[in-house]
A and B are shown apart, each in its own frame.
Chain A
Amino acid sequence: MPASAHSVPHVIAGGDAPRRRWRDGAFCRLVAADTKDLVRTLQTGFVSLFLFAFFLAVIFAIEVLFAMAATDARITVVSEDASFVSTIDSSLGDAVAASTPDAATIVVAEQNGHVELVIDAQANPDWHSVWRAVRGAGVAPADISVVDTDGVWRTDIVQQNLAPAIGMGLMAIAFVGAAVPLVSMRERGLLRLLGTTPVRTTTFVLALVPVRLVVAIAEIAAVLAIAAIRSYTDIGMLWRLGISLMLGFAMLLSIAFVLAARARNAANMQQWMVALTMALVGIGGGFVPPQTIPAPLQVFFDVVPTTWMIQAISADLTGATPAMSVYVLWALMTGCTVAALAIAARTFSWDREPGVRRSGRRDD
C-alpha cells in the first residue's frame, strides 16, 4: 500500500466509520453495472446487434439482386378479396405509374371471387408498388399472391424474412448478449464472489434484462418501421404483435438462463450460441422459404419454441398465416417460459459445488 495511504485513519477498524442501514437498490446498481459493462465492452453488444443487422442487410441485398435478375415483363397480382376493386382505381394508377414508368398497362379482371391485376410492361415491373396499393385498399397480405408469366409464385423476400430477422435479433440478444456474459462471469470467478454476498439470484438475473430490453426495443422499432413503410402490418394489430414480441423475448431470455445455468467456458458458449441462433432462425423460416420444406420436416420445425415465436410475430408483422392460432402460440410460449424459468431457478449455479445445501428459501 502506498505510504500516502497509511496516513488515512483506520476509520473502519476504529469503529468510527459511518455505518448505515440502507438498501441502496441492489437491482438498480446491478442494472447500472450491467449497462456500463455492456457499453464499455463493445464486443458483446456488437455481436448481439451484428447478427440482426447483417441478416437484414442480406435480405435487402437478395431482394435487389432478384429484382435485377428478373426478366418477366408480365406479372399478375392476385387478390382473393374482390371487395376493394371499386376503391382501388386512383391508388392503383399511382402505383403503376410509380412502378412502371415505361408505360405499362394494367388489366383488372374479376373472376371466381378473386381479382387478377395483370401488369404488362416492357421490362420487369416493380410489382411491390401494386401489392402495396392492394394492401392499402384493405386486403390482408395472406389474400394477395403474385405470379409471373410462367405461373411461378413470386415472393417478397423482405416480407418473408422480417419475422425471422427480428427473431434472430432477439435470439442474439438473449443467447449471445445474456447467456455468454453470464458464463463469462462464472468462468472468471465473479459469480463465485457474488455467491458469497447476500445478493438474491432473482435480483442478479433480472438485472440483466433492462439494458437488453432497450436493445431489443431498438431492433423492434427498426423492423416495425420497415413493416409500416412496406404496408406489411396493420396498425390495429400492433397490440397483438407487441404481446407476441414480449412473450417471445421473455421466453428467449428464460431459455438463455437455462443454457447459462451451469456452463463455464465463455468462448465455447459464444460459438454454440451463435450456431444455435442461426439454426433456430433457419428452423423458424429464415434462409429457406417454408413452402419448400418437406411437410414432415415442417411438422418437426413447428414444435420448436422459437418457431412459435417467429410464427406469432410473423402473423401480425407481415400478415403470414401461422401453423396454429396466435393465441395458442402465446399459450405455448408462456408455458415454455414458465418451465424454463423453473429449470433455471433450480439449476442456476453461483459456482458453488453441487451438493452444497440450498437455503430452502425460494431465493437462494
Chain B
Amino acid sequence: MTDQQAIRVENLVKSYDGRRVVDDVTFAVSRGEIFGLLGPNGAGKTTIIECLVGLRAPASGRIDVLGMRPGVDRRAFAERVAVQPQTASLFPTLSVDETLRLFRSFYEIGVVPDAVRDEVGLTAQARTRVKNLSGGELRRLLLAVALVGDPEVLILDEPSAGVDPAARQALWETVRALAARGITVLLSTHHMDEATQLCDRVGIIVEGRLVALDTPEALILARDAETVVSFDVAADADVERLVPLAGVEGFEIENTSRGRRVRVRTGDADALIRKIAFVPGLGARRIDIARGSLEDLFIELSRQGASDAG
C-alpha cells in the first residue's frame, strides 16, 4: 500500500453458505479520490463496504484502510473512517441537534455539530425528532452523523437512495467539496448519473466480481467503439447493400409504420454516416447516433454476468 493510497483491497473473497458473493475483488482508492462501486442490486457492493469498515470478516484477501486493518482496532479505525450504512436507524425520539451532539461526543476531534447540520441542509429540522423526518432527511442526517467526526475516509452506501433530485445535487456538491479538501470518498450506487458526474473512478461489480475499473470517461470511450447508428429506409429498400461497407459490424432491422428502421453497430459513426448517404437506392433518413454510455456498459455487463452465472 503506497502513501497515496487510502484504501487497498486485494483479492477479497466473501462467501455466505458456500456461495461467493464477493469473488477475488482487487482495487485501490487514492487519497482525496471519489471512488464509486457500481453494480446491480445484490452484486456484492454492500458486502464489500461492510468488509471495508470491519462489520464483516473476509473469507480471504486483504484490506487496508489508511494503513489499518478494519475491525482490528475499532476505536482508532472509527476515529478516521466514517460510514453511512445503507440501512441504519438512529434514536427515534432524539431531535436532529441532539443526535448530532450525541455522535459528536464519541470523537476526540471533529467539527461543530451545528455546522454539519447546516451543511447537509437540516437547519430547519434542527429540533425535529428523528422519527418525524422524511426518508431523504434521514439519509442527510445519517450523512451528517458520518461527517461529524471529521473523517479522513468517508464510505457511503447508496447515499442518494430515497433522496429527491435537488437533494442529490446538493449531496454531490458536498461530496465533491469533501474530496477537494482531501477526504477520500468511496460510495456505492446504481445511479449511472451519480457515478458519471461524481466519481473520479468507478468499479463495476457484477455477481461479486469486479468486471470493469476505470474513470467513467474511459469506460464510456471503451463503450463508444460500439456506437449505434439508426435510420429509416423504405420497406422495399435493399439493406444488403450495407454489408460491404467498411465499419459496419452488424445491423438489425425492425419493421415500422414508416417502413423499416435499421440499427447499425459501428466503430466509426461519422465515416459510416457519410457512406450511408451515398448508397444507391437505400434512401436513409431520420439518422440518429447513439453513443455508448456508462449505463449501456453497466447493462451489458450486468446481462453478461447474469448469463455467465446462469
Among listed B165-173, B196-204, B257-265, B297-305, interface-contacting one? B165-173
- On whether the beta carbons of A189 and B87 are closer than 8 Å, the reply is yes
- On whether the beta carbons of A190 and B75 are closer than 8 Å, the reply is no
- On whether the beta carbons of A33 and B102 are closer than 8 Å, the reply is yes
- On whether the beta carbons of B119 and A8 are closer than 8 Å, the reply is yes
- On whether the beta carbons of A12 and B145 are closer than 8 Å, the reply is no
- On whether the beta carbons of B145 and A193 are closer than 8 Å, the reply is yes
Among listed B176-184, B208-216, B268-276, interface-contacting one? B176-184
Is B6 close to A, CB under 8 A? no
Cross-chain contact of A198 among B106, B119, B178 (Cβ < 8 A): B106
Q: How far apart are the CA atoms of A352 and B78 in the complex, in Å?
A: 14
- On whether the beta carbons of B55 and A196 are closer than 8 Å, the reply is yes
Residues of B within 8 A of A4 (CB): 121, 124
Knowing A19-B150, A197-B106, A361-B73, the reply to whether A13 touches B87 (Cβ < 8 A) is no
Is B93 close to A, CB under 8 A? yes
Q: How far apart are the CA atoms of A22 and B150 in the complex, in Å?
A: 13
Residues of B within 8 A of A18 (CB): 111-112, 115
Q: How far is the CB of B11 from chain A (nearest CB, A)?
A: 18
- On whether the beta carbons of B111 and A197 are closer than 8 Å, the reply is no
| Count of chain B residues with a beta carbon within 8 Å of a chain A beta carbon | 70
Residues of A within 8 A of B53 (CB): 196
Cross-chain contact of A24 among B88, B105, B173 (Cβ < 8 A): B105
6 contacts between A and B (CB under 8 A): A6-B170, A28-B105, A189-B87, A195-B55, A198-B76, A361-B75
Is A359 close to B, CB under 8 A? yes
- On whether the beta carbons of B111 and A8 are closer than 8 Å, the reply is no
Among listed A36-44, A162-170, A208-216, A323-331, interface-contacting one? A36-44
Q: How far apart are the CA atoms of A10 and B76 in the complex, in Å?
A: 27
Identify the closest chain B residue to A196 (Cβ): B83
Chain B residues 93 to 130 lying within 8 A of chain A, measured CB to CB, are: 93-94, 98, 101-112, 115-116, 118-124, 129
Knowing A18-B111, A352-B55, the reply to whether A12 touches B178 (Cβ < 8 A) is yes
Identify the closest chain A residue to B94 (Cβ): A33
Identify the closest chain B residue to A30 (Cβ): B102
Q: How far apart are the CA atoms of A361 and B77 in the complex, in Å?
A: 13
Residues of B within 8 A of A357 (CB): 57, 69, 71-72
- Encode contact with A along B139-180: 1 for CB under 8 Å, 0 otherwise: 010100101011000000000000100110111011011101
Cross-chain contact of B85 among A10, A23, A196 (Cβ < 8 A): A196
- On whether the beta carbons of B57 and A6 are closer than 8 Å, the reply is no
- On whether the beta carbons of B170 and A5 are closer than 8 Å, the reply is yes
- On whether the beta carbons of A1 and B93 are closer than 8 Å, the reply is no
- On whether the beta carbons of B93 and A40 are closer than 8 Å, the reply is yes
Knowing A1-B167, A356-B54, the reply to whether A29 touches B102 (Cβ < 8 A) is yes
Residues of B within 8 A of A154 (CB): none
Query: Can you list the 6 inter-chain pairs with the closest CB atoms, starting with the nearest?
Result: A13-B177, A5-B121, A1-B170, A40-B93, A1-B167, A1-B121
Q: How far apart are the CA atoms of A21 and B149 in the complex, in Å?
A: 10
Is A192 close to B, CB under 8 A? yes
Is A222 close to B, CB under 8 A? no
Is A229 close to B, CB under 8 A? no
Identify the closest chain A residue to B95 (Cβ): A36
| Residues of A bordering B, CB below 8 Å | 1-6, 8, 10-15, 17-26, 28-30, 32-33, 36-37, 40-41, 188-190, 192-193, 195-200, 351-361, 363-364
Identify the closest chain B residue to A16 (Cβ): B115
- On whether the beta carbons of B75 and A1 are closer than 8 Å, the reply is no
Identify the closest chain A residue to B146 (Cβ): A196
Residue of A10, A29, A40 with highest tally of chain B CB at under 10 A? A10
Q: How far apart are the CA atoms of A5 and B174 in the complex, in Å?
A: 12
- On whether the beta carbons of A24 and B56 are closer than 8 Å, the reply is no
Residues of B within 8 A of A25 (CB): 105
Residues of A within 8 A of B112 (CB): 17-20
Q: How far is the CB of B15 from chain A (nearest CB, A)?
A: 12
- On whether the beta carbons of A192 and B88 are closer than 8 Å, the reply is yes
Residues of A within 8 A of B170 (CB): 1, 5-6
Q: How far apart are the CA atoms of A29 and B148 in the complex, in Å?
A: 15
Q: How far apart are the CA atoms of A9 and B139 in the complex, in Å?
A: 20
Residue of B115, B150, B171, B177 with highest tally of chain A CB at under 10 A? B115
Cross-chain contact of A19 among B88, B110, B129, B171 (Cβ < 8 A): B110
Is B4 close to A, CB under 8 A? no
Residues of B within 8 A of A361 (CB): 73, 75
Q: How far apart are the CA atoms of A200 and B56 in the complex, in Å?
A: 19
Cross-chain contact of A359 among B50, B72, B82 (Cβ < 8 A): B72
Identify the closest chain A residue to B59 (Cβ): A355
Cross-chain contact of B120 among A1, A200, A351 (Cβ < 8 A): A1
Q: How far apart are the CA atoms of A32 and B102 in the complex, in Å?
A: 9
Residues of B within 8 A of A198 (CB): 74-76, 78-79, 106-108, 149
Identify the closest chain A residue to B114 (Cβ): A18
Q: How far is the CB of A108 from chain B (nearest CB, A)?
A: 62
Residues of A within 8 A of B246 (CB): none
Q: How far apart are the CA atoms of A10 and B93 in the complex, in Å?
A: 28
Q: How far apart are the CA atoms of A24 and B129 in the complex, in Å?
A: 21
Residue of B70, B71, B147 with highest tally of chain A CB at under 10 A? B71
Is B91 close to A, CB under 8 A? yes
Identify the closest chain A residue to B142 (Cβ): A193
Q: How far is the CB of A7 from chain B (nearest CB, A)?
A: 10
Q: How far is the CB of A358 from chain B (nearest CB, A)?
A: 8
Is B89 close to A, CB under 8 A? yes
Q: How far is the CB of B20 from chain A (nearest CB, A)?
A: 16
Knowing A26-B105, A26-B106, the reply to whether A11 touches B121 (Cβ < 8 A) is no
Q: How far apart are the CA atoms of A193 and B146 in the complex, in Å?
A: 10
